[in-house]
Amino acid sequence: MSRNSVVFGCGLAVALIAGWVAFPRALYVKQQQPIEFRHKMHAEKSGITDCAQCHAFRDDGEFAGLPANDTCAGCHSDRIGTSPAEAKLVDRYIKPGQQTPWLVYSRQPTNVWFSHSVHVRLAGLGCTDCHGNYGDSDRVRPYEVNRISGYSRDIWGHSMSRLGRAPGDGMKMSDCEDCHRRHKVEVGCLGCHQ
């Protein structure tokens, strides 16, 4: 093996490591959610079995987004436990009537129109099909935002290679197209883009 081959091989290895390990760590910055929230604990203690009990649809059938504090206040108008997260929720957000400033993992670009109602009610998809098994989480994970695009890492997925992705790991256009192909549903560009 020639010296040039060894130098090339070492350079290639350094470039691959930089591209697949160092670059993603530099590209994304982590931010903590305003409150430590535990989906699993809420499901077990309150008997919530359906995401729509908190993440509801509006009267017109469209997704209303993150739960408003009115939803949380149904149980947390006053403190019922001793956790610092609940104290913060009640004292800082519910009692003063301030909405909790959640960081949204799945916010799509502004030119994308997505109807949860069509996908959940009409097509019968489950929340985990796109969002993964987030409802079984014991901890709220950090929000990772792309320094360049401003979008959450959840849009791209957690692996830069996108190989071996778990269901719900990524919400890129190609993920939507793959799902439409699997379900044999044709949608033109203007079906999703405005």
* pLDDT at position 62: 74
- Tens of pLDDT along 25-84? 888 999 999 999 888 888 888 888 888 888 887 777 677 778 888 889 988 999 988 899
User: Residue 166 domain-assigned?
Assistant: yes
User: Residue 147 domain-assigned?
Assistant: yes
User: Residue 125 domain-assigned?
Assistant: yes
User: Residue 20 domain-assigned?
Assistant: no
* pLDDT at position 120: 87
What are the DSSP calls for the chain, one per residue? --HHHHHHHHHHHHHHHIIIIIHHHHHEEEE--SS---HHHHHHHH----GGGTSPBPTTSSB--SPPHHHHHHHHSS--S--HHHHHIIIIIITTTPPP----TTPPPTTB---HHIIIIIS---HHHHH-SGGG-SSPPPEEEETTT--BHHHH-S-TT-TTPPTTS---HHHHHHHHHHTT----GGGTB-
Mean model confidence pLDDT for the chain: 87
Owning domain of residue 118 = 30-39+102-194
Q: Does 160 have pLDDT greater than 80?
A: no
User: Residue 73 domain-assigned?
Assistant: no
User: Residue 11 domain-assigned?
Assistant: no
- The count of domains in the chain is 1
Closest of 56, 66, 143 to residue 100, by C-alpha: 66
Instruction: Please state the pTM of the whole predicted model.
Output: 0.78
The tokens describing 110, both together, are: 């502004």
User: Residue 19 domain-assigned?
Assistant: no
Give the rounded percent of residues in the chain with a pLDDT score beyond 90. 31
User: Residue 92 domain-assigned?
Assistant: no
